[in-house]
A and B are shown apart, each in its own frame.
Chain A
Amino acid sequence: MPYILIAPIVTLFTVFYIYPIFYSILLSFQTRVRGEYVFAGFKNYVRMFQDPIFYKALGNSFLILVIQVPLMLTLATLLAVALNVSWLKFKGLFRIGYFTPVLTSLVAASVIFLLILNKDYGLLNYLLSLVGIGPIGWLSDGFWPLVTLIIVITWRWTGYNMVILLAGLQNIPHDLYEAASIDGAGRVKQFFHITLPLLKPVLLVTFIMSTIGSFQLFDEPYTLTSGGPNNRTLTLTLYLYQHGFSYFDFGYASALTYAIVVIVALLSLVQFKLAGDQD
């Protein structure tokens, strides 16, 4: 009986997951010569390590990781703590409100921001012009496209992380705070000495999920800027897509794939380790 139950998923899994994973390893060692894929040794990998655009994409992911992830998680933590305050009214309303961006797809979120961030006619530049700033080329000038990407991702995911952190906060025993108050610890002190340490496991999970996410970014840069201008918003997954499905260079694209695989697999391993330690 158990074999009947798992037969369909095992079959699908083998055909649509295991086989492609191994086949793409093979492909990453091949190159196309007159329409035929032939063995090429480490050629694709050597090319990758010498490819400035690869480093550019990798660098962008790191920039997003270093700026966006801490920014978002700080916001999400502060929001979660604020919405957990006992005397606060309209809690439900606030929680739902902050959660709503999760209802949009990443493409939809990007399209909405294309309108808001339009350089000449966008809402944001209009509002900024009222206080004498602007106009900013959110999608075209200098480092702004990367800022745009960070804004859109932060808008889309802060509420999501907030709800996870709220669940974590609610597991912290209330007595701890009461004991701390009696001992005369102020709320700032309580936050740093009770809330943060006890929230650490949940924070780590959200941190690793977001980190993995920043190496897999695709929908937003594709829709907002197509990686441009000048590869300023190019991500690894977008670069792999370009090589695979614009230039149909499956060999090199597969090598790029494995750069992502190694990074993500290592991060997942850390996550698993952490999850295991919690038990």
Chain B
Amino acid sequence: MRRKVPVLEQALLYLVLTAGLAATIVPFYWMVIGATNRTGDVFNIPPTFVPGTHLFENLSNLNQSILIFKSLYNSLFIAVVYSLIGLLLCAMSGYAFAKFRFRAKNIIFTTLILAMMIPYQATIIPLFQMFVKMDMLNTYWAVILPQLVYVFPIFLMTQNMRAVPDSLLEAARIDSAGEFYIFFRIVLPTMKPALAAVTIFLFNHQWNNFMWPLIVMNTKDMYTLPVALSTLAGQNSIDYGQAMLGTTISVLPVIAVFLFMQKHFVSGILSGAVKG
């Protein structure tokens, strides 16, 4: 019944797709070339197309110019603490919205929806003044706290929590299980895929966060990776060996998460595209 696809057409599709794939991947390859060579070698004409041997030289230079290990630590600390707290907050409020009836519920929920339409830019200047007043500029909490208010993953959790059967909760209550026991021991374990997706969503959001840390972090030793990288890019003569190595280091943890949790990663990243 199915008609045979002409060989020429097949070949053409493979050719186009492979060319497109090459164009997509080449920047990564060039990043590795840059990270392992001296800037001078990459800048030869013709340039070198093979990875070099200057990785560690670039690394020590990089650590002198932007304290790469401290920045990596800052980024990891902030992203991990942020996603753990954020996850708990999302799960708690999602559970409340999905499984309880209470008087203020509709008002709060509507306010959250409305707030979702207002971009974060509207908050940054007052937030900045607030952290100046609290003398909390240049601290991890200045980056973490305001970002915890993120409506989208709350909706995501609410949506998922609706799937928890009421009968399960009632049965637990009849067995006189405490509310916290129910939440942590009965509800959360059934939510593992959603929790994983939300964690990755939050981690990635904070890991890539740039504008806000750029505003509140003002010494080298507190910079997150994107901020540190942008200072390298801002120099008049960029040392590409350093810049590419820094970029590689900033991408590796995300690639690791992606490889080990591919399914959750894709659903986590894309959840931003699905309506709440």
Contacts and interface: CB of A to CB of B under 8 A. Distances in A.
B130 interface: yes
Contact of A9 (B92, B122, B128, B238): B92
A87 B5 contact: yes
Interface in B223-266: 225-226, 229-230, 232-234, 238, 240, 243-244, 246-247, 250-251, 254-255, 258, 262, 266
Contacts of B115: 13, 17-18, 21
- Say which size band chain B's interface belongs to: 35 or more
Contact of B92 (A5, A27, A103): A5
A245 B149 contact: no
Given A10-B108, A108-B251, A261 B127 contact: no
Interface stretch (A42-50, A140-148, A155-163, A192-200): A155-163
B93 A6 contact: yes
B126 A116 contact: no
A12 to B, nearest CB: 5
Contacts of B251: 103-105, 108
B149 A97 contact: no
Interface residues of A, number: 90
B152 to A, nearest CB: 12
B179 to A, nearest CB: 5
A126 to B, nearest CB: 6
A113 interface: yes
A14 B226 CA distance: 28
Interface string B261-276: 0100010011011010
Given A8-B89, A103-B255, A264-B117, A112 B247 contact: yes
A1 B179 contact: yes
B129 A250 contact: yes
Contact of B273 (A109, A205, A216): A205
24 contacts: A5-B93, A6-B93, A6-B96, A8-B89, A9-B90, A9-B92, A23-B126, A87-B10, A97-B24, A97-B25, A99-B266, A102-B269, A105-B210, A105-B225, A105-B250, A118-B240, A160-B270, A163-B270, A164-B273, A219-B210, A224-B233, A244-B124, A272-B113, A275-B275
